[in-house]
Amino acid sequence: MKHLLAVAVLLGSLAAQTAPAAPAKITYLRCGTLIDGKSDAPQKNVMVRVAGERIEAVGTAAPGAGAEVIDLSHEVCLPGLIDTHTHVLLQGDITADDYDVQLLKSSTPYRTILGTIAARRALEYGFTTIRDLETEGAGYADVDIRKAINNGVIPGPRMQVAGRSMDVTGAYPLLGYSWELKMPKGVQEVDGAEGGRKAVREQISNGVDWIKVYSDRSYYVRPDGVLDDIPTFTLEELKAIVDETHRERRKVASHAAALNGVHNSVEAGVDSIEHGQYIADADLKTMVAHGTYYVPTLFVGEYVAEGRAATGAKVWLDMVRIHEDTFRRALKAGVKIAFGTDAGGFDWKINPAKEFPLMVKGGMAPAQALHSANMTAAELLGMQDKIGSLEAGKFADIVAVPGDPMRDIQQLEKVNFVMKGGVVYVRP
Ligand SMILES: [Zn+2]
């Protein structure tokens, strides 16, 4: 049997060598304007030649006879957008009740069905790649959504996923129920350095690309204006998780909103700080030195603030103001800022591109804001050779908007053409 199998493999490889490869489908995009993601200067009247799933050339060559030409002469073509912080398994959680009801009243299969719709929405908004940062109690359903997209079963963006995420015992919802009840949790509860290593191994074996940790909770504003917190993991625990993850060639994203959570995460060597409402100047310096990315998620903070304040958590209103100041300081300090929105923390019917105007309001030039969702995000994902700019050899992940986003950043909320891997999903 073994012998037969070897023959079959040999024949298979011979066939692969001798059979002529089917020619890749050639498509031309006629772009009125093109921003390639490398230079900030838009180019006029550019032809993008797409062969199969990849870009073959960006230039002025005229299409050959019979080639398919997609007319985007009235549009601005851009590299596909990248959102590095999403939750396709979550459908908005302004209040604790919104969150609890999703975990208590919806099965994981039902939530996964909704997750496939969220993934499709992300793609149709122009996000051709997302980093989905945990399922909030839906196990490894993100691994399956990624698989269904990669196998062409459902439309959706390229995905890197984080599975269940980690927090210490007793720090993450569902909380506040009778102690007699065993409630579901939105994370994997992990304690101790060895527990952290074991959880990393378990999550990676189940297919995650990223390890996500929650590094702080219970936020309050000190009289001196600093946003303080209760750190969750000890520095020793975080270091063990980071070490084990890096040893297995994966990366760590840390939810860290305030003083101690950010400090411990940065010291432990995580790869990205998520949210970062408050980051001390000294930690910003360390982030620059370590090359740690900052994924600010400004929009979701504004979006949930009123609702959370109405249920008694007024600190969320202060956090919006503190966040904007931190964003400005991070920009000035030269921290690498990657675009991320926390979509799913707000309803997927809202376009996550609403993050862009807030980044511009916070001091970024429109070109910088766009860059954060192109090359900077691609680098955070380790995909800088594959996506993030429009260059020969990269995946044909291309979107278009009707007007110039360098003059009006809100154009990025109006994506009217989406191609991912050479396949068109939205047309003007
Ligand atoms: Zn999140």
Helices 315-333, 298-310: inter-axial angle, 10-degree rounding = 160
Which SS3 state, helix, strand or coil, does residue 153 take?
coil
Residue 289 C-alpha to ligand 1 middle, in angstroms? 25
Residue 312 C-alpha to ligand 1 middle, in angstroms? 21
Give CA angle at 67 (31, 75), nearest 5°.
Answer: 15
Residue 262 C-alpha to ligand 1 middle, in angstroms? 15
Listing DSSP states for 85-121 in one string gives: EE-TT----SSHHHHHHHHHHS-HHHHHHHHHHHHHH
Taking residues 43-59, report their average pLDDT. Answer: 97
Residue 85 C-alpha to ligand 1 middle, in angstroms? 6
pLDDT at residue 385 greater than cutoff 50: yes
Give the pLDDT confidence score for residue 4 in this predicted structure: 46
pLDDT tens per residue across span 249-266? 999 999 999 999 999 999
Structure tokens at 381: 């994902």
pLDDT at residue 382 greater than cutoff 90: yes
Structure tokens at 199: 């959880």
Contact 28, 67 (CB under 8 A): yes
Contact 247, 203 (CB under 8 A): no
pLDDT at residue 19 greater than cutoff 70: no
Residue 353 C-alpha to ligand 1 middle, in angstroms? 16
Residue 270 C-alpha to ligand 1 middle, in angstroms? 16
Residue 84 C-alpha to ligand 1 middle, in angstroms? 10
Residue 50 C-alpha to ligand 1 middle, in angstroms? 35
Contact 80, 129 (CB under 8 A): yes
Residue 290 C-alpha to ligand 1 middle, in angstroms? 23
Contact 215, 264 (CB under 8 A): yes
Give the pLDDT confidence score for residue 1 in this predicted structure: 45
Residue 342 C-alpha to ligand 1 middle, in angstroms? 5
pLDDT at residue 18 greater than cutoff 60: no
Residue 73 C-alpha to ligand 1 middle, in angstroms? 37
Local structure of residue 397 (DSSP, 8 states): -
pLDDT tens per residue across span 323-345? 999 999 999 999 999 999 999 99
Residue 10 C-alpha to ligand 1 middle, in angstroms? 48
User: Which H helix or E strand runs over 357?
Assistant: helix 355-361
The 10 Å CB-count burial string (b at 16+, else e) for 305-325 is: beebeeeebebbebbbebbbe
Question: In angstroms, what is the C-alpha Rg of the chain?
Answer: 23
pLDDT band at 94 (very low <50, low <70, confident <90, very high): confident
Residue 255 C-alpha to ligand 1 middle, in angstroms? 7
**Backbone dihedral angles phi then psi of residue 189, each to the nearest 5 degrees:** -80, 130
Residue 400 C-alpha to ligand 1 middle, in angstroms? 27
pLDDT tens per residue across span 219-244? 999 999 999 999 999 999 999 999 99
**Backbone dihedral angles phi then psi of residue 73, each to the nearest 5 degrees:** -70, -15
Residue 377 C-alpha to ligand 1 middle, in angstroms? 16
Q: What is the rounded average pLDDT for all residues in the chain?
A: 94
Listing DSSP states for 216-280 in one string gives: EEEEEE-TTS-EEEEE-S-HHHHHHHHHHHHHTT-EEEEEE-SHHHHHHHHHHT-SEEEE-S---
Q: Comparing C-alpha atoms, which of 78, 72, 146, 137 is closest to residue 108?
A: 137
Chain CA centroid to CA 25, Å: 30
Residue 115 C-alpha to ligand 1 middle, in angstroms? 15
Contact 160, 381 (CB under 8 A): yes
pLDDT band at 95 (very low <50, low <70, confident <90, very high): confident
Residue 390: exposed, middle, or buried by beta-carbon count in 10 A (0-12, 13-18, 19+)? buried
Give CA angle at 297 (132, 215), nearest 5°.
Answer: 75
pLDDT at residue 14 greater than cutoff 90: no
Give CA angle at 308 (304, 312), nearest 5°.
Answer: 165
The 10 Å CB-count burial string (b at 16+, else e) for 140-164 is: bbbbbbbebbeeeeebbbbbbbbbb
Cα gap 82→238, rounded to integer Å = 27
Residue 407 C-alpha to ligand 1 middle, in angstroms? 30
Residue 91 C-alpha to ligand 1 middle, in angstroms? 12
Which SS3 state, helix, strand or coil, does residue 79 take?
strand
Give the pLDDT confidence score for residue 9 in this predicted structure: 45
Contact 322, 266 (CB under 8 A): no
